[in-house]
Amino acid sequence: MSSEGRPRITVKSLSLEQVKTWVTSPYNLYMKLQDGRFVTVFRIGSPIDQERLAKYAAKGVTTFYASEQDLDQLGTEEGAAAVASSNSKLDALEKISQTVFDDLLALGVSEATYNNAKAVSKIVRGMVEKDPKLSDAFSKFQEVAAGDVRHAMTVSAMSTVLCSSMDWVKPSTYENLALGGLLHDIGMLSLPKDLQDGDLTKMSPNDRKIFEGHAESGRALLIQLKAVPDDVAMIVAHHHERSDGSGYPLGLKDIYIHPLARIVGLANELVESFEADREAGRATSVRLLVEGLINSQASRFNRDVIKSLKALLASDALKR
């Protein structure tokens, strides 16, 4: 086939060091083979996998290429401003994420479990960043309260840790759980400002009802955005339901609660206990938090989930 008639693609080079600093790739990024052909290494918007980069570096690859069309598109003032603003938001998220994972290590999670949770978290953040509607909603959530983002990321990571001992959990399920954890309180966006703090003990019955609506409004928002699988929307809808019917907003009993929401709901409570301990300056660990929950609150949660928590305590996922 003649090369005439093919669009001419010109490329620009980018150093390995530059690429290393990205969370996601702003371009379709290529590597040049010895025979002069280009192969795609990262698609536009996909997470930059540092381990993969290290492998390329070990093979002597120090330069990557982006097509000029992509670079030109970002070369306008608006494009550059959009990239700068999205990069600073991503940087902020990256920093919060690092704090969350430092916490996780300090809480006695084994290195393998930590690495797995971190890898899943990166994929999931990539999914949010890649979808314009979802990343816009998450940015608004981030603006409402930066502390809630740290909480959301910790719940997401904790959900991944908790299912280390659940053999039915496949990689795609891990992603749904972690995404559900990250978005569980996204419905807070629909609450009046003074209710966003969420101290239920200080609310009037009417305010409490409005606050409890954040689970359903989160689900409705995600359904409207058409940006996540139904399972994720159901995690958000049911994250405050408890197996004994004591939860909200619907007071659903065990079998009516989405199976993944049972795990994220539990992760949410463990993280809230951890946050209270941290605020009070008390030393704690995932092991202590899980033991405390099994001893005093097991009846509020699904029996199989509690069984898995016991298996988690006996496994290597947590340090002794």
In terms of Cβ atoms closer than 10 Å to its own Cβ (0-12, 13-18, 19+), residue 140 is exposed
Percent helix / strand / coil, the chain, rounded to 5: 65, 10, 25
Strand, helix or coil at 150?
A: helix
Binding site for Fe ion (CB under 5 A): 185, 268
Cβ proximity to Fe ion: between 131 and 272 the closer is 272
State which residue, 28 or 268, has the beta carbon closest to Fe ion: 268
156: left (phi over 0), alpha (psi -120 to 50) or beta: alpha
Q: Closer to Fe ion at the Cβ: 268 or 302?
A: 268
Q: Smallest gap, in angstroms, from Cβ of residue 240 to Fe ion? A: 6
Closer Cβ to Fe ion, 164 or 268, answer by number: 268
For residues 45 and 23, is the Cβ–Cβ distance under 8 A? no
Distances from the Cα of 41 to the Cαs of 34, 61, 64, 90, in angstroms? 15, 12, 9, 21
Q: Residue 307: is it exposed, middle or buried by C-beta count within 10 angstroms (0-12/13-18/19+)? A: middle
185 vs 241 by CB, closer to Fe ion: 185
| Residues 66, 163: Cα–Cα separation, whole Å | 39
Q: How far is the CB of 215 from Fe ion (least distance, A)?
A: 6
Kindly state the helix (H) or strand (E) to which residue 77 belongs, with its residue range.
Answer: helix 77-106
- To Fe ion, the closest distance from the beta carbon of 314 in angstroms equals 28
Report in angstroms how near the CB of residue 182 gets to Fe ion at its nearest.
11
Closer to Fe ion by Cβ: residue 247 or 259: 247
Residue 57: CB minimum distance to Fe ion, A: 39
Q: Minimum distance between the CB of residue 241 and Fe ion, rounded to whole angstroms?
A: 11
Report the nearest approach of Fe ion to the CB of residue 88 (Å).
26
* Sign for the pseudo-dihedral over CA of 237, 240, 245, 251: negative
d(CA 152, CA 145): 11
| Single-letter amino acid code for the residue at 252 | L
